[in-house]
């Protein structure tokens, strides 16, 4: 099972970017049942926030609901997960608080990988970090 960060969701629905097609391939593989993936409510919320700034609230909410359904069951963040994420956050070189809590949630869920364009995930003690570029996504899909 893999955990998706907001960047994957944004690129999969976005305009031209080098990560767009690999992210779309990953989402399609999840939709086809070839790979198991999930995320958190907070990631869906962040996606909706970013999408609404460009495409309007109705579009963003509809896509957020579709992602929530596709990636269900979503990971819950409890106090223990939050505390571990905050411990990661104070480590020198760590990413922001949101990303540290997501890495902690992925760890708690027993994820094999966390997929994100944010290279700072490589600095935290979480699941293997996969960049959603063509080689990263191809390696994920080849492993199933």
Q: What does 27-81 look like in DSSP terms, one character per residue?
A: HHHHHTTSS-EE-BHHHHHHHHHHHHHHH-HHHHHHHHHHHHHHTPSPBPP-HHH
Instruction: Give yes or no for a contact between 90 and 123, defined as CB atoms under 8 angstroms apart.
Output: no
The residue ranges of every structural domain in the chain are 2-36+77-142
Cα separation, 36 vs 113, in Å, equals 11
pLDDT of residue 143: 80
Q: What's the pLDDT at 38?
A: 98
pLDDT per position as a tens digit, 39-96: 999 999 999 999 999 889 999 999 999 999 999 999 999 999 999 999 999 988 888 9
Alpha carbon distance 17, 33 (integer Å)? 25
Q: What are the pLDDT digits (tens) for 92-130? A: 888 899 999 999 999 999 999 999 999 888 888 779 999
Q: Is the pLDDT of residue 21 over 90?
A: yes
Closest CA to 13 of 41, 39, 48: 48
d(CA 36, CA 21) in angstroms, rounded, equals 19
pLDDT at 37: 98
Structure tokens at 119: 């290279």
Provide the pLDDT for residue 25.
Answer: 97
Distance CA 90, CA 109 (A): 22
């Amino acid at each position: 099972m893999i955990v998706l960060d907001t960047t994957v969701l944004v690129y999969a629905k976005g305009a031209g970017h080098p990560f767009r097609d690999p992210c779309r391939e990953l989402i399609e593989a999840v939709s086809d049942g070839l790979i198991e993936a999930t995320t958190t409510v907070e990631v869906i919320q962040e996606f909706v926030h970013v999408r609404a700034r460009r495409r309007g609230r109705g579009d963003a909410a509809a896509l957020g609901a579709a992602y929530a359904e596709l990636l269900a069951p979503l990971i819950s963040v409890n106090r223990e997960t939050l505390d571990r994420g905050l411990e990661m956050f104070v480590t020198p070189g760590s990413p922001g608080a949101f990303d540290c809590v997501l890495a902690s949630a992925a760890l708690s869920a027993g994820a094999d990988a966390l997929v994100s364009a944010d290279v700072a995930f490589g600095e935290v003690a979480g699941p293997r970090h996969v960049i959603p570029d063509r080689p990263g996504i191809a390696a994920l899909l080849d492993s199933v």
